[in-house]
Chains A and B, each alone.
Chain A
Amino acid sequence: MTERLTRNQLAQLVASDITSGAYVNLGIGQPTLVSNYLTASQNVTLHTENGMLGMGPAADGEEIDEDLINAGKIPVTELPGASYFHHADSFGMMRGGHLDVCVLGAFQVSVAGDLANWHTGEPNDIPAVGGAMDLAIGAKDVFVMMNLLTRDGRSKLVHTCTYPLTGVECVTRVYTDLAVFLVTPDGIRVRETYGCTFEELLQLVDLPLLAPQREPESRLNS
């Protein structure tokens, strides 16, 4: 049995699952780590909501330019082949289904693939949504990256989200430190576990889950 994944291992796993040539938007926070593990041969083009395709790594020293920032308002660089466009075009790329993958953090994901990641709903919390709702419904694949459990041990994969929703039935995969979950029409299928067995995972999340499928014969024989 492999160990529970660290944040960087999780980012590496997500990166390795992104198909070659994909257009990808990485959300703020943990998802940004994924860019550290994308390889040149994957030829992935990064989109940033504030109007750029072909975003490069974070800028440093003399490269820092106040007119060239990412969605988190961090200074970044441009790669050869980059393009700039206005906000309506940028969000048209999302809403129009042109992005292959977006990777987002989450407070909760439901078994139906509902996402809650923008607002705690607490009375004192000033709400801010940014591009989260557009990303959630726009990309062909919506990957969530999060720790499976809250600090007090409750599963963030839930039957029904209790936090305000970001999007309905939009998440396609959930990458966590303890397991990767696939949202399917039949329910949530566990792809693999890390540092726990499938039976232990069932105890932790207290939800009906479909067991990992055995490797197809053809793949084993190839």
Chain B
Amino acid sequence: MLTVHDNADQAVSGINDDAIVLIGGFGKAGQPVELIEALLRRGSRNLTVVSNNAGNGTDGLAALIGAGRVAKIICSFPRQSDSKLFDAKYRAGEIELELVPQGNLAERIRSAGAGIGGFFTPTGYGTILAAGKETRIIGGRGFVLESPIRADFALIKALKADAVGNLVYRKTARNFGPVMASAATCTIVQVSEMVETGDLDPENIVTPGIFVNGIVVVGPSVRSKPSTEPGL
């Protein structure tokens, strides 16, 4: 059942303390900043956040971490030259970090959405990020068993939604959105525009509405100069 919310605060009103939350975005591209800021206002604590990065600058995910709401982050690339809020929490021992190679992160989320119980991947084999994990030699090559990441909520950003929740994205802002949408009990999407059902070409829909539970329109994103900080 799809709910169209009046505002971001209403959209995140079901996210309580201790929730596991997938947050889309690669750096600032595709990061659902308005939903994250609403979650910050809601005040939920002890969150586990799954996102590629651990926040840039001082807004969005960085602000949520800076406010001490995130107990644990599962991500691939936390450290950047503008990740000061995460860096401070990490060095103070106030946030737990589970570091995951980026492709394993995406596939762990995808596999949760696809009902897979785990998968063997060559990524990370023989490295410290595979320490303690089950391994297997398949076809003469080493593989590591990785587990799915299922969440209570996914907060993602898309370009447009129709009234049944079908989504289209914009350029590299798509990134983790489609896999995260499939892997949460409740997926909440912020979009720039909502269109009538039938206005999106069915051939071009990227995320079918079956994966979407809540929509909120936050207006078109401001085209601003992204940070030019280096990072993987």
Residues of A within 8 A of B (CB): 28-29, 48-52, 64-69, 71-75, 78, 84-88, 90-92, 94-95, 114, 119, 126-134, 137-138, 164-168
- Answer whether A164 and B102 are a contact pair too, CB < 8 Å, given A67-B171, A88-B179: no
The answer to whether A86 touches B232, judged by C-beta atoms less than 8 angstroms apart, is: no
Mark interface residues in B74-113 (1 if CB within 8 Å of A CB, else 0). Answer: 0011111000000100110000010111111111011000
Within the complex, what minimum Cβ distance (angstroms) separates B167 from chain A? Answer: 11
- Answer whether A165 and B127 are a contact pair too, CB < 8 Å, given A50-B29, A66-B221, A74-B228: yes
The answer to whether A84 touches B169, judged by C-beta atoms less than 8 angstroms apart, is: yes
- Answer whether A65 and B171 are a contact pair too, CB < 8 Å, given A50-B26, A128-B232, A129-B232: yes
Contact with B175, one of A51, A66, A72, A137 (Cβ below 8 angstroms)? A51
**Which residues of the partner chain B approach A119 to less than 8 Å between Cβ atoms?**
128
Residues of B within 8 A of A (CB): 26-30, 52, 76-80, 87, 90-91, 97, 99-107, 109-110, 121-129, 142, 169-179, 206, 221, 223-232
- Answer whether A131 and B226 are a contact pair too, CB < 8 Å, given A50-B26, A126-B78, A126-B90: no
**Which residues of the partner chain B approach A137 to less than 8 Å between Cβ atoms?**
122-123, 125
A-B contact pairs, 12 of them (CB 8 A): A28-B232, A67-B170, A69-B29, A73-B29, A73-B228, A84-B169, A87-B26, A95-B103, A127-B97, A129-B232, A130-B231, A132-B232
**Which residues of the partner chain A approach B178 to less than 8 Å between Cβ atoms?**
86, 88
**Which residues of the partner chain B approach A85 to less than 8 Å between Cβ atoms?**
174
User: How far apart are the CA atoms of A49 and B27 in the complex, in Å?
Assistant: 13
- Answer whether A88 and B230 are a contact pair too, CB < 8 Å, given A66-B29, A128-B77, A164-B128: no
- Answer whether A69 and B226 are a contact pair too, CB < 8 Å, given A85-B174, A95-B123: yes
